[in-house]
């Protein structure tokens, strides 16, 4: 081993931190601990029987494709299935607008690699997805957080920040939003708010990065159009993933955008992994081709809707006075805001040791260091019975601390 590894480290890796969520998952392997921490889908949703059959079919008939290198843009059959799916939803896309990534996290990384130099600004929500913040931070971005209400990021505050940057002779590289069932807070951006932010992006000539991993997991309310569709000019880049609607272990996502943007992402991906595994792509494509994905999504929605409603009732019955949360219309998460004197990060280990219940401290999602009195809960992974007991434990713990 060299004498001083730190001296050899790059500026990028020195600026990176371990994921608070991934590290927390190591602490809660004890089966007696009820965890609301991870963004994990329920294993009960995995289509094991169907996949066994499809894997055998692919190996029997298409091993020469599935076991070979693939194109950087992705498996053409899978891309075609995605194009057809979006067109049925009213979104005007073609093959040249779609590339496959190794899950949407790679999309976040590749877009950051493509656009961000150290010291560049990006616009994010307060709070925002930890994986996005980590990707931007790894390339030296300076995030500017925009507070949110029940409709999403406040456009007046966003414009004020854009004006400040303009006065400095600066322009952010992009505006990062999660408009559907936002992670971690759970709110959905109204269509009017989406249009307001698109108008700001046009006015100040800034790209929008629309992260949409949960869009198809709606349990109530009316579906809004994607910002990509509302924009219609190529100024929005849309990220999607199969992780929450199929299987996270397959690690397949996609980027939809203007061909000029995707061309640069392909260059970055070729330097990263050459291509997403052809084997998993072809299996997912055949799964979609058989019409199984829509049936699976309906099953997932039905299961998670019960868990969502159950979680909201549990919070009403068990959370101490002074706590509040947004009622999510879909997705996997919600964020609880506790009385201001509580520091959920400082209390986390005590919650695990005393009550054997885990959550994610909210400060991880706030680029400005705020959110100390917030916590994120996932309602999809644990069983209904464990959700009941876990929220009882959490409520009891918080009441003691208050």
User: Is 77 within a domain?
Assistant: yes
Residue 348 phi, psi (nearest 5): -60, -50
Q: Are 111 and 316 in contact (CB under 8 A)?
A: no
Distance in angstroms (rounded) separating the CA atoms of residues 70 and 278: 6
Residue at a domain's end among 245, 271, 292: 292
Distance in angstroms (rounded) separating the CA atoms of residues 343 and 340: 8
User: Is 3 within a domain?
Assistant: no
User: Is 1 within a domain?
Assistant: no
CATH of the domain at 315: 3.90.1150.10
What per-residue confidence (pLDDT) applies to 154? 98
Question: Are residues 218 and 327 both part of a single domain?
Answer: no
User: Is 330 within a domain?
Assistant: yes
Question: Are residues 187 and 318 both part of a single domain?
Answer: no
Which pair of structure tokens corresponds to residue 367?
């680029």
State the CB neighbour count (10 A cutoff) for residue 48.
Answer: 8
Q: Are 248 and 258 in contact (CB under 8 A)?
A: no
Question: Are residues 343 and 232 both part of a single domain?
Answer: no
| Count of positions (residues) in the chain | 402
Distance in angstroms (rounded) separating the CA atoms of residues 389 and 400: 17
Q: Which residues of 237-273 are buried (b: 16+ CB within 10 A; e: fewer)?
A: bbbbbbbbbbbbebbbbbbbbeeebbeebbebbeeee
Q: Domain range for residue 318?
A: 8-46+294-401
- What digits encode the pLDDT tens for the residues 171-208? 999 999 999 999 999 999 999 999 999 999 999 999 99
Question: Are residues 287 and 194 both part of a single domain?
Answer: yes
Question: Are residues 206 and 83 both part of a single domain?
Answer: yes
What per-residue confidence (pLDDT) applies to 2? 67
Distance in angstroms (rounded) separating the CA atoms of residues 34 and 394: 10
What per-residue confidence (pLDDT) applies to 307? 98
What per-residue confidence (pLDDT) applies to 15? 66
DSSP 218: B
Residue at a domain's end among 292, 317, 344: 292
What per-residue confidence (pLDDT) applies to 157? 98
Which of 287, 253, 282, 276 has its CA nearest to residue 51?
287
Question: Are residues 144 and 266 both part of a single domain?
Answer: yes
Residue 290 phi, psi (nearest 5): -80, 0
Question: Are residues 60 and 190 both part of a single domain?
Answer: yes
Cα angle value 131/137/140 (rounded, 5°): 160
Question: Are residues 302 and 189 both part of a single domain?
Answer: no
Q: Helices 278-289 and 292-318 meet at what angle, rounded to 10? A: 90
What per-residue confidence (pLDDT) applies to 24? 60
What per-residue confidence (pLDDT) applies to 55? 98
Give the contacts of 396 (CB within 8 A, at least 6 positions apart): 318, 355
What per-residue confidence (pLDDT) applies to 14? 67
Domain count, the chain: 2
Question: Are residues 228 and 304 both part of a single domain?
Answer: no
Which pair of structure tokens corresponds to residue 195?
């249009």
Residue at a domain's end among 235, 265, 292: 292
User: Is 81 within a domain?
Assistant: yes
Question: Are residues 125 and 222 both part of a single domain?
Answer: yes
CATH of the domain at 122: 3.40.640.10
Question: Are residues 228 and 306 both part of a single domain?
Answer: no
Which pair of structure tokens corresponds to residue 267?
């260059």
Question: Are residues 235 and 262 both part of a single domain?
Answer: yes
Residue 125 phi, psi (nearest 5): -85, 160
User: Is 38 within a domain?
Assistant: yes
User: Is 27 within a domain?
Assistant: yes
User: Is 120 within a domain?
Assistant: yes
Q: Which residues of the chain have pLDDT under 50?
A: none
């Amino acid at each position: 081993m060299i004498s001083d590894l730190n001296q050899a480290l790059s500026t990028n890796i020195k600026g990176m931190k371990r994921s608070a969520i991934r590290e927390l998952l190591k602490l809660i392997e004890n089966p007696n601990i009820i965890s609301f921490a991870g963004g994990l889908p329920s294993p009960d949703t995995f289509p094991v029987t169907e996949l066994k059959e499809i894997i055998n079919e692919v190996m029997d008939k298409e091993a020469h494709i599935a076991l070979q290198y693939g194109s950087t843009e992705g498996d053409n059959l899978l891309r075609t299935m995605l194009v057809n799916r979006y067109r049925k939803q009213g979104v005007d896309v073609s093959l040249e607008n779609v590339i496959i990534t190794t899950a949407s996290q790679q999309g976040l990384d590749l877009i950051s690699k493509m656009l961000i130099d150290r010291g560049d600004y990006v616009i994010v929500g307060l709070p925002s997805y930890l994986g996005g913040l980590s990707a931007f931070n790894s390339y030296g971005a300076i995030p500017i957080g925009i507070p949110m209400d029940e409709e999403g990021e406040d456009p007046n505050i966003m414009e004020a920040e854009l004006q400040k940057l303009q006065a400095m002779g600066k322009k952010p590289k992009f505006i990062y939003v999660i408009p559907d069932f936002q992670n971690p807070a759970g709110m959905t951006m109204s269509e009017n708010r989406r249009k307001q932010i698109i108008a700001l992006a046009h006015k100040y000539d800034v790209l929008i990065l629309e992260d949409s991993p949960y869009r198809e997991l709606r349990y109530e309310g009316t579906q809004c159009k994607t910002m990509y569709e509302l924009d219609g000019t190529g100024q929005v880049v849309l990220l999607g993933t199969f992780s929450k609607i199929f299987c996270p272990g397959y690690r397949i996502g996609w980027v939809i955008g203007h061909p000029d943007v995707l061309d640069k992402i392909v260059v970055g991906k070729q330097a990263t992994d050459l291509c997403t595994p052809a084997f998993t792509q072809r299996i997912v494509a055949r799964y979609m081709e058989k019409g199984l994905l829509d049936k699976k999504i309906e099953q997932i929605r039905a299961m998670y809707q019960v868990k969502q409603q159950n979680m909201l009732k549990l919070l009403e019955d068990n959370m101490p006075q002074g706590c509040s949360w947004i009622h999510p219309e879909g997705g996997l998460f919600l964020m609880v805001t506790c009385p201001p004197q509580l520091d959920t990060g400082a209390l986390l280990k005590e919650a695990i040791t005393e009550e054997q219940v885990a959550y994610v401290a909210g400060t991880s999602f706030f680029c400005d260091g705020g959110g100390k009195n917030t916590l994120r809960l996932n309602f999809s992974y644990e069983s209904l019975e464990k959700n009941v007991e876990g929220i009882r434990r959490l409520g009891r713990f918080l009441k003691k601390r208050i």
